[in-house]
Amino acid sequence: MPRNPAPDVRRSVPRTDAVLADPRLAEDVRTRGRDAVKDAVRVAQQRVRDGEAAPGDVVDLVLASLPPAGTTLRRVLNATGAVLHTNLGRAQLSPAAVEAVVTAAGATDVEMDLATGRRARRGRGAMAALAAAVPAAGGVHVVNNGAAALVLAATALAAGREIVVSRGELVEIGDGFRLPDLLESTGARLREVGTTNRTTLADYAAAVGERTGFVLKVHPSNFVVTGFTAGVQAGELTGLGVPVVVDTGSGLLAPDPLLPEEPDAHSVLVAGADLVTASGDKLLGGPQAGLLLGRAELVERLRRHPLARALRVDKLTLAALEATLRAAANPTVDAVHADPAELRRRCGEVAAALADAGVDARVEPSRAVVGGGGAPGVELASWVVSLPPHLAEALRRGDPAVVGRVEGGRTLLDLRCVPAGADGALVGAVAAAVS
């Protein structure tokens, strides 16, 4: 007898409108939009047609494929040993900063005095917190990143004029962007002095003239030059008769004994610099922002420049920055100053839990770095959980994603930047990657 033909699987795939009407998808349709959910439905339907899933699994597949919280960004556990990993968003915000962002997401008094009902200075709380954190600054202002802070200074003070800068400080700041190109885009002309490895005060003095807008000092925050070298400190440049602008880069506001070679805004201003620029999402541990600190009249001149409007930060950044400045610590500060003995203990517990699950996990000493263009050459004593090398990719694809580093034929997970409360999630992620 002839056999009955196999049923056409396409007949069993649920219709798109029927899936979209499922109550389990109602909230996603409302918050993410019908089109976004419909795209996920079509992908799930195709998986049924390809024999990868059963018809009754379509809604579950859709729910699993939709990105959390309406964003394609994924949560990542930074186990690289680089505290400020640029590709992972640099500084992790503190709980206080996250709470402040949530508060600022609604209607706020960002530019209103609620007592009078009149307009007030934008972000005055954040500005007050920044001024309190750097008492040596007569004025403060915030723009959207460190490069923007330098661009605003160059535009307001040196457009059509000259910026005197050492050849050894004309750095590339990342992703192919170079400081000379950035500064010259403002209409300023660079007057290079000295050599790659040696620049003296006499070099600067010989270059300063009637066309000088300011002298610029740039901290080489992502490399170190050693050997036959010479440089000039910011305080030595204050007698040249022109403003001295210092780009400290990493956002350290006060001296840190653990990072003695890293310039901080307070010390540079006390030494006589007229203006300091820095980043907010590096050693400060806050959101992406460009900090401008210095003489009150100079900062006010920059604040009132037309370009400042194009570079201003939003209310979420202001809220996160203020919370970061007012808090005693944050994940960046905690990670830089993490106790190696405590890291070893945590690694031991993670490795033991993984060994119980049959995973080849070992505890090994290691070295971590600040990263993100901060404290070049500084190594932080640390400990890692060492795993087989093939797990690196599976860990990156997991949920949560775990990013470590492959070194010496092993996958190394440094817990320095992994919150202590996330150790259980890390164990679960490794177990899932193994299985």
Please report whether residue 301 resides in a domain.
Answer: yes
Residue 5 pLDDT class (50, 70, 90 cuts): low
| pLDDT tens column, 342-356 | 999 999 999 999 999
| Token output for 45 | 């339907």
CATH code assigned at 159: 3.40.640.10
Q: How far is residue 29's CA from residue 202's CA, in Å, rounded to a whole number?
A: 68
Q: How far is residue 391's CA from residue 404's CA, in Å, rounded to a whole number?
A: 10
Lateral strand order in the sheet of 244-249: 139-143, 290-294, 275-279, 244-249, 212-218, 162-166, 189-193
Residue 385: predicted pLDDT: 98
Range of the domain at 403: 76-89+334-434
| pLDDT tens column, 275-313 | 999 999 999 999 999 999 999 999 999 999 999 999 999
Neighbour tally for 393: CB within 10 Å: 12
Please report whether residue 103 resides in a domain.
Answer: yes
Please report whether residue 185 resides in a domain.
Answer: yes
Average confidence score pLDDT of the chain: 93
Please report whether residue 152 resides in a domain.
Answer: yes
Q: How many CA atoms lie within 13 A of 195 on its CB side?
A: 5
Please give the angle made by the CA atoms of 258, 349 and 353, to the nearest 5 degrees: 145
For the segment 242-247, the average pLDDT, to the nearest whole number, is: 97
Buried b or exposed e, range 174-213, using 16+ CB within 10 angstroms: eeeeebeeebeebebebbbbbeeeebbeebbeebbeeebb
Instruction: Report residue 92 CA to chain centroid gap.
Output: 7
Residue 7 pLDDT class (50, 70, 90 cuts): low
Please report whether residue 282 resides in a domain.
Answer: yes
Residue 51 sits in the same domain as residue 100: no
Residue 214 sits in the same domain as residue 266: yes
If one counts the domains in the chain, the total is 3
| pLDDT tens column, 354-397 | 999 999 999 999 999 999 878 888 899 999 999 999 999 999 99
Q: Which of 308, 328, 348 is the last residue of a domain?
A: 328
Sign (positive/negative) of CA torsion 335, 264, 258, 228? positive
pTM: 0.86
Please report whether residue 104 resides in a domain.
Answer: yes
Residue 250 pLDDT class (50, 70, 90 cuts): confident
Please report whether residue 1 resides in a domain.
Answer: no
| pLDDT tens column, 148-164 | 999 999 999 999 999 99
Residue 70: predicted pLDDT: 67
Please report whether residue 200 resides in a domain.
Answer: yes
Residue 209 pLDDT class (50, 70, 90 cuts): very high
Q: How far is residue 275's CA from residue 269's CA, in Å, rounded to a whole number?
A: 7
Residue 343 sits in the same domain as residue 195: no
Residue pointed to by tokens 């007949």: 11
Residue 257 sits in the same domain as residue 109: yes
Residue 185 sits in the same domain as residue 255: yes
Amino acid at 287: P
Residue 84 sits in the same domain as residue 123: no
Residue 224 sits in the same domain as residue 367: no
| pLDDT tens column, 106-140 | 999 999 999 999 999 999 999 999 999 999 999 99
Sign (positive/negative) of CA torsion 329, 333, 339, 345? positive
Q: Which of 299, 328, 357 is the last residue of a domain?
A: 328
Instruction: Report residue 225 CA to chain centroid gap.
Output: 25
Residue 22 sits in the same domain as residue 48: yes
| Token output for 18 | 């029927």
Residue 148 sits in the same domain as residue 162: yes
Of 413 and 435, the one with more pLDDT: 413
The conformation of residue 230, written as its DSSP 8-state character, comes to B
CATH code assigned at 382: 3.90.1150.110
Cα 187 to Cα 46, 190, 306, 371, distances in angstroms: 55, 10, 15, 32
Of 141 and 399, the one with more pLDDT: 141
pLDDT > 60? residue 104: yes
Which residues in 273-400 belong to E strands, given as ranges?
Answer: 275-279, 290-294, 362-369, 379-387
Residue 12 pLDDT class (50, 70, 90 cuts): confident
pLDDT > 70? residue 48: yes
| Token output for 334 | 């905690």
DSSP states of 120-149 as a string? --TTHHHHHHHHHH-TT-SEEEEESSHHHH
Residue 115 sits in the same domain as residue 27: no
Torsion of CA 421, 422, 424, 429, to 10 degrees: 180
Residue 82 sits in the same domain as residue 120: no
Q: Which of 276, 295, 328 is the last residue of a domain?
A: 328
Residue 2: predicted pLDDT: 52
Residue 274 sits in the same domain as residue 389: no
